[in-house]
């Protein structure tokens, strides 16, 4: 198993290029199920979650050419689609496997998907995905931990989400594009990844209005066509590297990114004292002096993203004053706190609130990653800390960050990946 070793307190200087967004790439891959023909995908991040999704598509009968993956290119053709099941092993490894549900129902009128169960950050049910499909005429049965869905051609419906759900909105958009009649999704997610999926579907021929707003209207059509897709830059990766400068100081140019997608994050980080200059597709970030604490509440887009909460917490641990984080999206997304405490942080958790009192400095320690964003948080903590930090279970990190240690090393961080025989 790999571990990361970090020697902290080295300033960053140079350039980091951002990869394609995992959470935009996964629904884009799912959309290839909607029709046969070659989809040429570029800027696809070379990540474990993408390989897992490709394996799932292959099991469904897709033909894939992933020889270009090291150059971030991929070709998929689902012309010979013949499977309709996402099995327990795959869904357990990656919850986003449920994104095949909507497109399978659209294309084949049947799907058998393992229910995901809970995960490290919360219970994460999929009841809104299922309720939406039922309203569109699907018959659902729960059998042996699997949901079995069937229908003739789905029909349009008016669907209200009790809670904003990203993959729920994406699944039902893909279910609706070829349904009979009009579907209206209310309280829909407005995340850039949802808009991106909508734009792919539009290019494929779908009729969609209201992307980027909380009401999305979709007029079903009979047939879609394959398209070329370029995955948008990863806003969470971008935010993570900006915060890396906050953690250990220096000046970075972050390239191939989309500053518009991070306005809430910039606003908090500027309040804390970071200098952030926005250009067309790049950002310059600079830290001078110490940071001031702020209060943060995670919210659906355009609010502060839950996927950057753990990383921001690291900055609060070494800022002046007291900062309160209110996590409103997931009920158990503070697993990183126990590890930060081992590095000398002063944090008190009460329910979904974490009260973080800035300390003079963190100290390096052996720590363990518990989920993807918690892993990134521990990397930032290692960069900020005095001395050496080793992070185990970094397979979580490899699910969502492309070559993180290489990108950071080139920018001056002291970070290496090592193999260990020890099992943590
Ligand atoms: N929820 C329900 N019922 C549902 C669906 C969601 O109660 O049917 C609840 C969830 O339990 C949660 C809230 O609604 O409390 C929001 O969850 P959402 O459905 O939006 O999350 P998701 O679609 O499963 C995506 C990202 C996550 C990101 C969240 C929130 C993908 C593949 N995953 O998850 O990304 O944290 O939206 O923005 O897009 C990550 O990349 O590390 C990650 C976890």
Give the model's confidence band at 126: pLDDT under 50 very low, under 70 low, under 90 confident, else very high.
Answer: very high
Q: In whole angstroms, what is the distance from residue 203 CA to residue 39 CA?
A: 12
Query: Distance from the CA of 168 to the center of ligand 1, in angstroms?
Result: 8
Closest CA to 137 of 181, 194, 83, 169: 181
Say yes or no: CB of residue 166 within 6 Å of ligand 1: yes
What domains can be seen in the chain, in order of their start residue? 2-19+233-419 (3.65.10.10), 22-230 (3.65.10.10)
For position 232, what pLDDT does the model report?
Answer: 98
Task: Cite the active site residues.
Answer: 119
Query: Average pLDDT of the chain?
Result: 96
Q: Atom 28 in ligand 1: which residue has the minimum CA distance?
A: 307
Task: Give the tens place of pLDDT for each residue, 184-231.
Answer: 999 999 999 999 999 999 999 999 999 999 999 999 999 999 999 999
235 phi and psi angles, rounded to 5 deg: -75, -25
pLDDT at residue 258 tops 80: yes
- Spatial distance between the Cα atoms of 25 and 399, rounded to a whole number of angstroms: 13
- Report which protein residue has its CA nearest ligand 1's atom 4: 126
The whole-angstrom separation of Cα 1 and Cα 157 is 48
- Helix, strand, coil share (%) of the chain residues, nearest 5: 35, 30, 35
Residue 424 has pLDDT above 60, yes or no: no
The CA radius of gyration of the chain, in Å to the nearest whole number, is 21
Can you name the residues that pair with 389 across neighbouring β-strands?
6
Output the pLDDT for position 118: 64
Closest Cα to atom 43, ligand 1: which residue? Answer: 307
State residue 339's pLDDT score. Answer: 97
Reply yes or no on whether the pLDDT at 423 is more than 60: no
* Three-class DSSP category at 8: coil
Residue 107 pLDDT > 80: yes
Alpha-carbon span 90 to 189, nearest angstrom: 25
Cβ–ligand 1 distance for 208 under 6 Å, the answer: no
Give the number of other Cβ atoms within 10 Å of residue 144's Cβ: 9
372 lines ligand 1 (CB under 6 A): yes
Residue 26 beta carbon below 6 angstroms from any ligand 1 atom: yes
- The DSSP string of 32-100 is GGGS-SEEEEES----HHHHHHHHHHHHTT-EEE-TTGGGTEEEEE-TT----EE-HHHHHH-GGGGGG
Q: Does the structure show a pLDDT above 90 at 59?
A: yes
Q: What is the pLDDT of residue 363?
A: 98
* pLDDT of 117 strictly over 80: no
User: Which pLDDT score is estimated for 75?
Assistant: 98
Position with higher pLDDT, 86 vs 93 = 86
Best of 167, 185, 194, 300 for a ligand 1 pocket test (most atoms within 8 Å of beta carbon)? 167
Higher pLDDT, 85 or 124: 85
């Amino acid at each position: 198993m790999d571990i990361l070793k970090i020697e902290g307190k080295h300033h960053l200087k140079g350039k980091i290029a951002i990869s394609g967004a995992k959470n935009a790439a996964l629904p884009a891959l799912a959309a290839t199920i909607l029709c046969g023909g070659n989809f040429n995908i570029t800027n696809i991040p070379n990540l474990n979650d993408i390989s897992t999704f490709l394996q799932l598509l292959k099991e469904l009968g897709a033909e894939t050419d992933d020889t270009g993956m090291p150059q971030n290119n991929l070709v998929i053709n689902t012309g010979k689609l013949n499977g309709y099941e996402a099995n327990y092993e795959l869904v357990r490894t990656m919850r986003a496997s449920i994104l095949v549900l909507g497109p399978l129902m659209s294309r084949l009128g049947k799907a058998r998907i393992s229910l995901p169960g809970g995960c490290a950050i919360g219970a994460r049910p999929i009841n809104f995905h299922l309720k939406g499909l039922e309203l569109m005429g699907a018959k659902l049965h729960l059998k042996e931990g699997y949901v079995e869905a069937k229908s003739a051609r789905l029909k349009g419906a008016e669907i209200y989400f009790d809670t904003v759900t990203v993959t729920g909105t994406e699944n039902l958009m893909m279910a609706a594009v070829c349904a009979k009649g009009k579907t209206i999704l209310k309280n829909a997610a407005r995340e850039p990844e949802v808009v991106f999926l909508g734009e792919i579907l539009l290019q494929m021929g779908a009729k969609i209005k209201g992307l980027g707003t909380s009401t999305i209207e979709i007029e079903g059509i009979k047939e879609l066509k394959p398209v070329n897709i370029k995955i948008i830059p990863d806003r969470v990766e971008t935010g993570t590297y900006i915060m890396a400068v906050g953690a250990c100081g220096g000046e970075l140019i972050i390239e191939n990114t989309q500053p518009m997608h991070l306005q809430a994050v910039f606003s908090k980080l500027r309040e804390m004292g970071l200098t952030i200059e926005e250009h067309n597709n790049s950002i310059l970030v600079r830290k001078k002096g110490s940071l001031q604490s702020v209060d943060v509440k995670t919210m659906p887009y355009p609010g502060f993203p839950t996927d950057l909460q753990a990383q921001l917490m690291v900055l609060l641990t070494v800022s002046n004053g007291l900062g309160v984080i209110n996590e409103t999206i997931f009920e158990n997304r503070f697993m990183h706190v126990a590890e930060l405490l081992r590095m000398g942080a002063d944090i008190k958790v009460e329910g979904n609130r974490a009260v973080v009192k800035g300390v003079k400095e963190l100290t390096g320690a052996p720590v363990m990653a518990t989920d993807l964003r918690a892993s990134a948080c521990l990397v930032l903590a290692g960069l900020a800390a005095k001395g050496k930090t080793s992070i185990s279970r970094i397979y979580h990190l490899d699910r969502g960050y492309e070559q993180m240690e290489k990108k950071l090393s080139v920018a001056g961080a002291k970070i290496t990946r090592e193999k260990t025989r020890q099992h943590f």
